[in-house]
Structure 1
């Protein structure tokens, strides 16, 4: 398996998962995630996957400024309905990092480690997603402005030729290069850019 080298330069996130510690899956329950994990989950790399990854990482860093974020203890709210736009893709990336699920997640052991009903869609928020600590109720909204990293002017024409089966081998190679270059700029050049991912305090309820 060979990924573009810039994946390793993207921000990483270490979380502590009490369930992982309880079952001995990882020492101390510490799990180290990178962008490649999100790509493996989604099966592809695109601005949506990169944006969801950055929004989740930055939100967890904000909610846990002086400690390791706790996986399974953060509720995730998505503004769009589950079947609208790219909501499902964004939510799946957020679930990877937070453990939050709707009704299909882990049911828990002896009343502990329940991951269900921590993910909701169609919520009344301004950002694309909101993240709320279940222990303190402190929340943050995350908004992605992918226009901060614009599409290369050559991309629309290349995409149209690819979709119409009129692209050459060189066209296809150029498309892939330009596509991933935009993702690279998001994850590396603009990883800390508050214009790309902006955060705002949110005091809403996880089940809003």
Structure 2
């Protein structure tokens, strides 16, 4: 699988998963994720997938400032319904990185390490994309993103129309893919820690 080279330069995220440690899946439960993992999960790369990856990274780092984030220790509440817009896509990336799953998630072992019902939809707070809450101490952050400072290239729409046409050439499709991924590249490499783009908020 040949992925764009810049994917490997995107920020990575180290988490500790007690279930993975218990079951011998990872030494000390330590798992490192990179943007290619989110791409493989989603089956594509776009600003939404990249933004979800960066929001999850930022949220977990904010909740665990002095420790490795605990995968499976966070309750994720999406602001919108599962079927609304890109909510489902974003939630899938959140599940990958946080371990929080909806009702179809792992039910645990002897009452421990359950992951089901840690991901919830339609929390009613439309001012954010999602909230992350630590299950152990209730610390909560609210996540959103603003991509207005990373606009698509002016020729994006025209290239998309041509690329989707039945008679599009391989060159036209490649040109669209290249310019599409350049916006993803800018988001991942230039704005990963930009608080104006990837927003993490605490509230009283």
Report the TM-score when normalising by structure 1. 0.95
Match of 1:184 in 2: 185
Structure 2 residue 169 is matched with structure 1 residue 173: no
Aligned residue in 1 for 2:60: 60
Aligned residue pairs total: 203
Q: Deviations over 1:152-186 (max 9, x none)?
A: 01110011122232433322111010011100000
Alignment RMSD: 1.0
Residue 194 (str. 1) matches residue 203 (str. 2): no
| Counterpart contact for 2:80–2:124, Cα < 8 Å | no
- Contact 1:155–1:178 at 8 Å: present in 2 too? yes
Corresponding residue number in structure 1 for 2:42:
42
Aligned to 1:82: 82
CA shift at 1:194, angstroms?
A: 1.0
Runs (5+) with no aligned partner, structure 1: 204-208
CA distance in 2, matches of 1:11, 1:130: 21
**Aligned equivalents of 1:110 and 1:202: distance in 2?**
35
Distance of 1:109 and 1:168 partners within structure 2? 53
SS of match in other structure, 2:187: helix
Q: Which runs of 5+ in 2 are unaligned?
A: none
Match of 1:206? none
**Matched residue SS, 2:202:** strand
Q: CA deviation at 1:22?
A: 0.5
Check the 8 A contact 1:100/1:118 in 2, yes or no. Answer: yes
1:138, 1:202 within 8 Å by CA — same for their partners in 2? no
Partners of 1:102 and 1:188 in 2: how far apart?
31
Q: Which residue of 1 aligns with 2:9?
A: 9
Residue 130 of structure 2 is aligned to residue 129 of structure 1: yes
Q: 1:73 to 1:202 in 2, by over 3 A?
A: farther
Equivalent residue of 2:25, what SS? coil
Counterparts of 1:150 and 1:109 in 2: how far apart (Å)? 46
